[in-house]
Structure 1
Amino acid sequence: MLELKNVTAGYDRTQVLGGVSLTSAENGIAAVLGHNGAGKTTLLRAVVGIIRPTGGTITFDGEDITQAPPNQRVRRGMAYVPQGQQSFEQLSTLENLQVVADGRPRPRRRQLVDQARERFPALNEVIDKKAGLLSGGQRQQLAIARALITEPRMLILDEPTEGIQPSVVAEIERTVTALAAEDGLSVLLAAQHVGFALNNASKYFVLASGRVTSSGEGGSGAQDEVREAMAI
């Protein structure tokens, strides 16, 4: 579904990605792993069009989107959840969901909000609470729920469990896994915590200094190999 070939990208004159190549299949989870500063966020931003690659190509469903703006990538089926549990802080949980749903066809709006609430039932407990007053875990669930309302074919997550309590991490892991296994959603996630990323990933890529240094099939059995690669 998604393929990067020798992608280079960065900020101003600083190159961060030095020729990254990877593929993410349909109906599966691909994990991009690496320490802080490895280039994971830059890679995701290049994929969704927030920054333009300076070299290489990005294709999505066989179409070259290297120079396509973010809104075109969203229309093609990408949804991006950046690091930091972003939301409209002065709006309630429900209003945050409805704002996104307002951009969908009218007959689907209520159904999409209800489906998002079903995916993250903990949000129902804070449905009338302002998003700015939610815990980090609740805000992250809200951010992913908002992304799902756009009905993506690929969900792109940047550090989805960073700074979140273990019980909520487990809930997010179950939901993301179900989305890939049961709903056929393709997931690309960046993380530095190997356990969450590999438990259900079909493939992984280790990033260091803006380059892929190791890759392979996911699963818990790959953890030792990945930890060794990240220790280099």
Structure 2
Amino acid sequence: MLEIIGVTAGYGRTEVLHDVSIEVPTGGAVSVMGHNGAGKTTLLRVATGLLPVMRGRVLLDGEDVTRMPPSKRVERGLGYVPQGQQCFPQLTTRENLQLTMKKQSDLDEVLSLFPVLGELAGRRAGLLSGGQRQQLAIARTLLTKPRLLVLDEPTEGIQPNVVADIERVIIDLTRRGDLSVLLVEQHVGFALRSTDRFYVVKSGRVAVSGEGGADAVGAVREAMAI
């Protein structure tokens, strides 16, 4: 689905990523972990087309999109949920969702994944809790019917029950086989439970990678501590 191959990228003359390669298979979920400053957000900016690469290639469904702008990648099925629980605060929950809704059945499906949004449909988004706004941001992106969902730190600053809801949604959607997920996350347990494969980025390089699951927690924490 998504292949980042030997990518070096950064800002100005400063290289942040150094010869990084990761792969997100069709219908699979992959997590990228690392401390602040490791290069995770830079990697997502490369994946979404927000940052040009210095060297290397980015493939989406086998097509070279290295020089393709973000809008064209969205047209090819990429959906991006950035950090910060972004929403339109003056609009209601329902109005936020209607901005990307194509048909009622799509909205019904998304509300089945996040029932609390249906309960708060008439409330202004700015009055929602941080966790509820995060669910809204994910739901709004899912309404665009992406084939690759890119999530940047979705658990940051939100309550544990909402983290569990987001984890459940990621697992449910990827098990259906029609959605791939690239997740950047510092919450090791959440990341490994939600995804099939992981990469740990340290100082702009892949330090370790492997299969997800509880058995990988030790290896991940060791890699992040080195």
Separation in 1, partners of 2:24, 2:113? 24
Please tell me whether residue 216 in structure 1 is matched to residue 221 in structure 2: no
Q: Deviations over 1:134-171 (max 9, x none)?
A: 11000000000001001011100000111110011001
TM-score (norm 2): 0.97
Number of the residue aligned with 1:5: 5
Please tell me whether residue 114 in structure 1 is matched to residue 141 in structure 2: no
Q: SS of the counterpart of 1:122? A: helix
Amino acid at match of 2:53: P
Q: Deviations over 1:207-228 (max 9, x none)?
A: 0111101001111111111110
Q: Deviations over 1:43-94 (max 9, x none)?
A: 0111011111111000011100001000110011110000101111111100
Number of the residue aligned with 1:86: 86
Amino acid at match of 1:5: I
Flag structure 1 segments of 5+ consecutive residues without an equivalent: none
Asked if the contact 2:28/2:177 (under 8 Å) is kept, the reply is no
Number of the residue aligned with 1:169: 163
Amino acid at match of 1:172: I
Flag structure 2 segments of 5+ consecutive residues without an equivalent: none
Separation in 1, partners of 2:14, 2:96? 36
Amino acid at match of 2:189: G
Q: SS of the counterpart of 2:6? A: strand
Superposed displacement of residue 203, structure 1: 0.8
Amino acid at match of 1:88: F
Superposed displacement of residue 6, structure 1: 1.1
What are the residue-to-residue correspondences of 1:63-212 with 2, within 5 Å?
63-101=63-101, 104=102, 109-212=103-206
Q: How many residues align structurally?
A: 226
Superposed displacement of residue 38, structure 1: 0.7
Q: CA RMSD in A?
A: 1.0
Superposed displacement of residue 183, structure 1: 4.7
TM-score (norm 1): 0.95
Please tell me whether residue 62 in structure 1 is matched to residue 71 in structure 2: no
Separation in 2, partners of 1:6, 1:31? 18
